[in-house]
């Protein structure tokens, strides 16, 4: 059956209306949350950026990340710890922060021979020292190297939908051949956040999932 122009126009109108509704509502499917896997990376403040790359240097955005306003940069750096075994080509993420921070996995810590605590991003007080090597200079962080805790980014609307608030912890089930359960997953709620759980490469490899996988928040 052929559709008339009027029928086609009506269908297009309905599709566009549905798209608008999807954009304006939280991306929630039951209790599921999409996953983003974070590889080792570096956040820099302005002073350390200029030490590593030269006075007046500015980051070069390369790719937008899942969280609005965050992006991967073309710049990469080398990490060195007491083992003197470097980890090269560690990506810098933007924008600049007030304090430099290095996020690695437990596996990386064995290579570097550092002992980073598991922390929320930004909580670097008393964390592990590490040396960052750039093309123009070296930064020796006395503290700032952490293993990021498992956490879920949510908008306020997502928080309402899941019945949680900023700072709460939840339990998360991972399905699949290597199914598991993660406890004490931190919830981070902010108007700029988009629904996504962040884990590191060790966690992802242990359960055999990658970017775009979905996990389930357990109602206990």
Q: Tens digit of pLDDT for each residue in 86-129?
A: 999 999 999 999 999 999 999 999 999 999 999 999 999 999 99
How many domains does the chain fold into? 2
**Does 87 lie in the same domain as 179?**
no
User: What is the extent of the structural domain holding 197?
Assistant: 28-36+150-218
- What percentage of the chain has pLDDT greater than the value 90? 84
For position 10, what pLDDT does the model report? 55
Residue 15 inside a domain? The answer is: no
Residue pLDDT, tens place only, 36-49: 999 999 999 999 99
- Amino acid 176: pLDDT: 80
Same structural domain, 157 and 95? no
- Cα separation of 214 and 18, whole Å? 23
Please tell me whether residues 207 and 120 are part of one structural domain: no
Domain boundary pick from 148, 169, 187: 148
Per the domain annotation, does 55 fall within a domain?
A: yes
Per-residue pLDDT, averaged over 53-76, amounts to: 97
CATH number of the domain to which 198 belongs:
2.40.40.20
Q: Are residues 167 and 142 in the same domain?
A: no
Q: Does 50 share its domain with 107?
A: yes
- Does residue 19 fall inside a structural domain? no
pLDDT at residue 186 greater than cutoff 80: yes
Both 50 and 134 in one domain: the answer is yes
**Distances 166 to 110, 183, 185, 189 between C-alpha atoms, Å:** 32, 16, 12, 5
Same domain, 128 and 156: no
pLDDT mean over 209-219 = 94
Highest mean pLDDT among 19-23, 26-30, 121-125: 121-125
Comparing CA positions, the residue from 118, 117, 119, 186 lying closest to residue 153 is 186
pLDDT band at 30 (very low <50, low <70, confident <90, very high): low
**At which of 99, 127, 148 does a domain end?**
148
Same domain, 112 and 202: no
* The pLDDT of residue 46: 98
- What is the predicted pLDDT for the residue at 8? 40
* 22 assigned to some structural domain: no
DSSP string, the chain: -PPPHHHHHHHHHHHHHHHHHHHHS---BTTEEEEEEEPSEEE--HHHHHHHH-TT----EEEE-SSTT-EEEEEEEEEE-TT---EEEEEEEES--SS-EEE--HHHHHHHT--PPEE-TT--TT-EEEEEE-SS-EEEEEEEEEEEPPEEEE-HHHHHHHT--TT-EEEEEE-STT-EEEEEEEEEE-TT--SEEEEEHHHHHHHT--TT-EEEEE--
Q: Is the peptide bond before 13 cis (omega within 30 degrees of 0)?
A: no
Asked if residue 173 is part of any domain, the answer here is yes
pLDDT of residue 173 exceeding 90, the answer is yes
What pLDDT does residue 177 have?
84
Please check whether residues 43 and 143 belong to one and the same domain: yes
The number of residues making up the chain comes to 220
Contact yes or no for 211/198 (Cβ under 8 A): no
Same domain as 185, residue 154: yes
User: What is the pLDDT confidence band of residue 2, given thresholds at 50, 70 and 90?
Assistant: low
């Amino acid at each position: 059956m052929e559709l008339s122009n009027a029928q086609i126009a009506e269908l297009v109108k309905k599709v566009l209306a549905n798209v608008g509704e999807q954009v304006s509502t939280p991306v929630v499917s039951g209790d599921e949350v999409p996953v983003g896997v974070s590889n080792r990376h570096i956040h820099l403040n302005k002073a350390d950026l200029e030490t590593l790359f030269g006075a007046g240097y500015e980051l070069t955005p390369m790719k937008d990340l899942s969280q609005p306003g965050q992006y991967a940069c073309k710049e990469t750096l080398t990490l060195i710890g007491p083992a003197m075994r470097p980890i090269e080509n560690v990506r810098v993420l933007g924008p600049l922060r007030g304090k430099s921070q290095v996020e690695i996995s437990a596996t990386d810590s064995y290579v570097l021979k550092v002992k980073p605590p598991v922390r929320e991003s930004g909580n670097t007080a008393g964390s592990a020292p590490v040396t960052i090597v750039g093309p123009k200079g070296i930064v020796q962080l006395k503290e700032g190297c952490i293993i990021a805790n498992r956490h879920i980014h949510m908008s306020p609307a997502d928080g309402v939908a899941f019945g949680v608030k900023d700072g709460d912890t939840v339990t998360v089930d991972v399905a699949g051949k290597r199914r598991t359960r993660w406890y004490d997953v931190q919830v981070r709620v902010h108007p700029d956040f988009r629904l996504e759980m962040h884990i590191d490469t060790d966690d992802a490899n242990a359960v055999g999932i990658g970017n775009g996988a979905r996990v389930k928040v357990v109602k206990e």
